[in-house]
Amino acid sequence: MLASCHDQDGEFARPREKRDQPVELVLLDDGRPHPAVLAEDQTVIRGNGEEPQTLDPHQAESVPSANILRDLFEGLTTEAPAGDIIPGAAIRWNISRDARTYTFYLRRDMLWSNGDPLTADDFVFSLRRAASPATASPSATMLLPIQNAREVLANELPVEDLGIALLDKYTLQITLTGPTPYFLGLLTHPVAYPVNRRNLEEFGDEFSRPDKLVSNGAYVLRDWKHRVSIELEKNPLYREAENTIVDHVIFMPIEDVSVEVTQFRSGALDWTNEVPNNQFAWLQRNYPDELVISPWMGSYFFGFNLEVEPFVQNPELRQALSFAIDRQIITDKVTQFGEQPSFALVPPGIEDYIPFVPEYADWTQEQRNEEARRLYELVGYSHENPLRTEIRYNSSENHKKIALAIASMWKQVLGVNTSLVNEEFRVFLQNRQQKVITQVFRAGWISDYNDPYSFLELFRTGDGRNDYGYSNSIFDAVLDEVATERIRARRSRLMFEAERILLSDFAVIPIYSYVTKRLVDQHLKGWQNNVMDHHLTRYMYKLKSREAEETVTIETVVKEEEQ
C-alpha cells in the first residue's frame, strides 16, 4: 500500500514527496543533449507488466516481450520516437508501381553483437524461419501478405518458395500477393526481425538466453532473473552506438500496478508500465508532472471460447451477456483514465477508417438490459435456472476489478452466477490457446501496425492467435479480398464489412479503447508519446538532478564553452 491513511474520497492522503528536479535541458546544434546536463549513471529502469514468455522474436506474442525485443533487435525498418516508420537495417527501399514488389538495400557496415557481418541473407533466412511450420510462430500469419506465405504456412510449399529473393549480399526483394499499405510498418514487428543463424544452430532452443543471444539492435541481453528483472546493456557494435546514450536498461516484470507506483515513488523505477485505476485523482494531485496519459492503438475486450458449451452455436447467449455490460460505468468508475466505451473491435484514430458501430450502441443501457433479458430467456436461462460460467484473467489489479464489475452486472441484470479465475500470465496464455477449459476470458489487442487489419486478422480461421475458436468462411473471404485490394477506399469498406460480420456474430465483447497511463520520471527525456506506445530506449537519456554536485544551467554551459 502507498499509505496507511485515506482522505474523505477514499484515496491515499499523504503529502507529496519532495522529488529531485532535473536540470534545464540544453541541446547542441544537432539536437543532441549537451554532455554537461547528462546524468553520470545512464541506467533506465522500466516497469514492464508481466514476465515475457520468450525473447525468441519469432515465438514472442506479448507486449512485454515486444518491448524488450525492440531494444535487442532491429528490422529492415524501424520507428522514430513519434512512431514514424524510418530506415532500420535497410538504408532505403524501392516499391514497384503495382505496389507488390519491395527491394531493400541494406547498410554495408552492420555487425551482429558477436562481430559477424549482418547481410541480406540473414533476413532471408529469418523470414523463412518465421514462416516455417516447424517454428510454429504464433505471429506467422502476419506474413500472409508475402507471396506464397499461405501455402508455406499450410506446409503445402517449402519455405524456399516464400516470396523473398536474395539479389546480392546487401539486397533482398520481397514480393507480395497484393498491395499492402501497412507492410513497412509490419517489418518493425519482432516476427520480421533477423536471428543469427550460427547462434541458432549452436544453441538451438536456448539461443535466446543470457550469454547466448546474439542480436543486432542497440542493446544486448546480459541477465534474466525470472520474475525479477531482465537486464540489457548497450551494444558497442550497433550502427548508432555513438549516438546511444543510455548504457543499461532494466525491465522489471511487475504485475501488481500498486507495487509499480510504490517502486516509482521510492526511486526504484524511472517509469511504470501502468498505474492503478482507482488512484487517478490522487496521482493527478501528487504527481501532475509525472503522470502521462496518451491515446493508444488498442482495444480491451472479453472473448468467448466458441469451441465449448454453452457458447458454441449460441450467439443469442453471447449477445445477452454483451448487452448486460454497462461500459460507461466501467470507464467512469473502474478504469477512470479517459478510456472510451466501445462497441467496436477497431479503436478510433486510424487514418481513413471509421470502425463499424452497431445500432445498439445508441440505445440506452436499460434498453440493452431489456433485450439481454429477452435473449437470455429465449435460450433457456432464468433466475431460477441461471447460467453458471467463469471469467478467466491474468494477474492484474485492474483486470480483476473489471472482471468483478462485469460479474456483478451479469448477476444483477440476468442472474448469472460467475466465478473468477486468476492466472499467471504464461499459464493464462496457454489455457487460452488450448481452448479446453476457458469459457469467458480477458482479451485485448494492441495493434502491431497502424492499420485495422491488425485487429481483424486475429479472427481468421486457424490463425495462431485465434484463441476464440472463431470460424466464419464469409469473414475469411472478405479478409482475402482486403489482402489484394489496391484502392484504399474500397479496402477500407471491405475491412468495415469484416468488422461488421465479426461483431454481428458476438465472438467478443468490446469494452473500451485503450489509453496508456503511467508515471515517468522528469529526468528521463528523449521519448515521445505515440499511438503505438513503442518507445525505443536508444532515443532516451537521463538528466542530472538539480541537487547533484553542481547545478547546471544554460548560463554555466555557456561559460564552460567560452573558457
Q: Is residue 300 part of a domain?
A: yes
What is residue 558's predicted lDDT score, i.e. its pLDDT? 47
Q: Is residue 25 part of a domain?
A: no
Q: Is the pLDDT of residue 283 over 90?
A: yes
Euclidean distance between CA atoms 253 and 226, whole angstroms: 9
Query: pLDDT digit string (tens) for 147-163?
Result: 999 999 999 999 999 99
Report the phi/psi class of residue 486: left, alpha or beta, with left for phi > 0 and alpha for psi in -120 to 50: alpha
What is residue 338's predicted lDDT score, i.e. its pLDDT? 82
Q: Is the pLDDT of residue 325 over 50?
A: yes
What is residue 450's predicted lDDT score, i.e. its pLDDT? 84
Average pLDDT over residues 33-49: 96
At 105 the three-state DSSP class reads strand
Q: Is the pLDDT of residue 563 over 90?
A: no
At 500 the three-state DSSP class reads helix
What is residue 547's predicted lDDT score, i.e. its pLDDT? 65
**Do residue 187 and residue 213 come from a single domain?**
yes
**Do residue 232 and residue 337 come from a single domain?**
no
Query: pLDDT digit string (tens) for 481-491?
Result: 998 787 889 99
Q: Is residue 268 part of a domain?
A: yes
Mean pLDDT across the chain: 91
The grid coordinates of residue 443 equal 482479451
Q: Is residue 547 part of a domain?
A: no
- Which residue range forms the structural domain that includes residue 213? 43-272+520-542
Average pLDDT over residues 200-205: 96
The domain tally of the chain equals: 2
**Do residue 504 and residue 524 come from a single domain?**
no
Q: Is residue 418 part of a domain?
A: yes
Please report how many Cα atoms fall inside a 13 Å half-sphere around the Cα of residue 247, on the Cβ side. Answer: 6
String of DSSP letters for 195-213 = --HHHHHHHGGGTTSTTT-
What is residue 483's predicted lDDT score, i.e. its pLDDT? 80
Q: Is the pLDDT of residue 8 over 50?
A: no
Average pLDDT over residues 529-557: 77
Yes or no: say if 395 and 364 are a contact pair by the CB < 8 Å rule.
no
pLDDT above 70 covers a percentage of the chain that reads 94
**Do residue 495 and residue 528 come from a single domain?**
no
Yes or no: say if 179 and 170 are a contact pair by the CB < 8 Å rule.
no
CATH of the domain at 70: 3.40.190.10
pLDDT confidence bin for 549, thresholds 50/70/90: very low
Residue 164 is given by DSSP the state E
**Do residue 508 and residue 524 come from a single domain?**
no
Query: pLDDT digit string (tens) for 398-408?
Result: 899 999 999 99
Average pLDDT over residues 359-378: 98
Query: pLDDT digit string (tens) for 436-491?
Result: 999 999 999 988 888 899 999 999 999 889 999 999 999 999 999 998 787 889 99
Average pLDDT over residues 212-229: 97
Q: Is the pLDDT of residue 340 over 50?
A: yes
